[in-house]
Amino acid sequence: MKKAFKLISLNLLICLAFISCSFQEELYLAHEEEKLTNLSPVMVIPVPADTLFPRLLHTQDQLTFVRGKVDGGLEPWSSAYDDFIDKADAFKTVSHHATDTVYVPKYYEDTPGHRAAKAGILSDGHGAYTTALAFSLTGDTSYAEKAIYFLNAWAQTNVAISHADDSRLIAAYGMAGLLAAADLLMGHTVWPTIDKNQFKVWLENVYVPAVATTKAWTDNKGDWGTFAVAASYHLLEDDTKLAFEINRVKLRMDKNIASDGHMPKEVLRGVNGLWYTYFALTPITMTAQLALNRDQDDIFNFVPDTAGTLKQALDYLHYYVQHKDEWPHYPMGAGGPQDDDWPVDLLEAMNDFYDDEYTTFVSGHRPIKGGYDGTTITHSGWFYPTLMKMPR
């Protein structure tokens, strides 16, 4: 009897142990499934291999590279991604500011009016690009839908861009984010073809005719106009006109970059000479990125016949932004602490092309967003350069 009881007890203990193990295993598997469910999807919607997109500021290889760094928890990508995705989530609740006619007063004649008029344009540009990039890095279509919301709003609402005052300049650089967002989404079916076509019609009939008139200007306005037109022809898949604009960048370098690297048109701006040097180099390098991505045309290492190179201009800016008291074009004094907003975004992006030469200068400002003064959007340029780092 005692033996039977012991046998029954032993069997009961074995059953209980088995049940306990099975329950623990189910809990573990459920926990692991929940973790997998909560992970951001990884590049689930690659573009077709034969598409021309994305090629403006990014490529599919770059997006895949960055996603891998983020998934691996590697720095500086991981921290930059956390900051970036917060921005993307915040833009989901932002309304567009598209207007039928764009007009922006001159900055130096009506500063408050200028800032107010461009604020909505900059917000929509940053919002479209940020959410389009979030879609590209996560596959979450809710981000794509928000980017499309901004793009469609401008394509459906805006019918004119004034040629008066600063209107065309703000259209050229303030809407850079719209162009970059369109490039990220153009190769995906999530943006309906009918909407893509309407955006292209807006580019052809409204946007390009306005910003193209700035290309003849010999200073930063012409550089931004060239970028805006080149980016538009890329989106319109007009290879002939795009090649013409890429060549324009090289021709402009002969006049706009001196042999020692200073930019003659920009250093004339008094105390703002450093800022305008940065403001001119930003669209030049963005157009150079397009040329490299699209046709492997390397403007970053192009040597003009009589002028300085792009690298010399960047080095000139890099040196004098740290030694303002030595600026030879205007008495500036030592200046205050380095701004987190500029030119660190440009130089962070340029690290990819010049072997991280500017890392010591920019590393203390990471993660760099680009185009922000604190939480205020101030301009367009190299968006999220820390997040999008990839050696070239």
Q: What domains appear along the chain, each with residue ranges and CATH number? A: 41-377 (1.50.10.100)
Q: Give residue for tokens 């940020």.
A: 130
Question: Does residue 16 surpass a pLDDT of 60?
Answer: no
Q: What's the whole-number mean pLDDT along residues 239-263?
A: 95
Q: What would the two tokens of residue 354 be?
A: 């010049």
Q: Is 160 helix (H, G, I), strand (E, B) or coil?
A: strand
Q: What's the whole-number mean pLDDT along residues 346-363?
A: 96
Specify the higher pLDDT residue, 125 or 11: 125
Question: Does residue 25 surpass a pLDDT of 90?
Answer: no
Q: What would the two tokens of residue 29 be?
A: 């598997």
Can you give the length of the chain in residues?
392
Q: Is 236 helix (H, G, I), strand (E, B) or coil?
A: coil
Q: What's the whole-number mean pLDDT along residues 365-370?
A: 94
Check the CA dihedral 239-244-249-251 and report its sign: positive
Q: What would the two tokens of residue 355 be?
A: 């072997």
Q: How many degrees, rounded to 5, is the angle at CA 364 between CA 358 and CA 368?
A: 80
What gap in Å lies between CA 290 and CA 230, rounded to an integer?
Answer: 8
The pLDDT assigned to 45 comes to 57
- For residue 94, report the phi and psi dihedrals to the nearest 5 degrees: -90, 135
* Percent of the residues in the chain that have a pLDDT greater than 70, as a whole number: 87
Nearest to 129 by CA among 103, 151, 102: 151
Which has the minimum average pLDDT: 31-40, 93-102, 149-158, 315-324? 31-40
The pLDDT assigned to 381 comes to 92
Q: What's the whole-number mean pLDDT along residues 124-149?
A: 98
The CB-side HSE value for 278 (13 A sphere, CA atoms) comes to 25
The pLDDT assigned to 49 comes to 62
What gap in Å lies between CA 151 and CA 119, rounded to an integer?
Answer: 17
Question: Does residue 321 surpass a pLDDT of 60?
Answer: yes
The pLDDT assigned to 91 comes to 98
Specify the higher pLDDT residue, 30 or 145: 145
Round the CA-based radius of gyration of the chain to a whole number and report it.
26
The pLDDT assigned to 31 comes to 38
Instruction: Please provide the average confidence, as pLDDT, over all residues in the chain.
Output: 89
Q: Which amino acid would we find at residue 220?
A: N
DSSP state string for 113-142? HHHHHHHHHHHHHHHHHHHHHHHHHH--HH
Q: What would the two tokens of residue 262 be?
A: 């200073």
- Band (pLDDT 50/70/90 cuts) for residue 226 is very high
The pLDDT assigned to 227 comes to 98
- For residue 321, report the phi and psi dihedrals to the nearest 5 degrees: -70, -20
Helices 273-295 and 220-235, interaxial angle, to 10°? 20
Specify the higher pLDDT residue, 10 or 111: 111
Which has the minimum average pLDDT: 20-29, 278-287, 289-298, 326-335? 20-29
Question: Does residue 12 surpass a pLDDT of 50?
Answer: no
Q: What's the whole-number mean pLDDT along residues 301-312?
A: 94
Kindly report, residue by residue over 209-221, the tens digit of the pLDDT. 999 999 999 999 9
Model confidence, pTM: 0.88
What gap in Å lies between CA 165 and CA 311, rounded to an integer?
Answer: 32
Q: CB within 8 A of 105, min separation 6: which ones?
A: 113, 114, 117, 165, 166
- Band (pLDDT 50/70/90 cuts) for residue 51 is confident
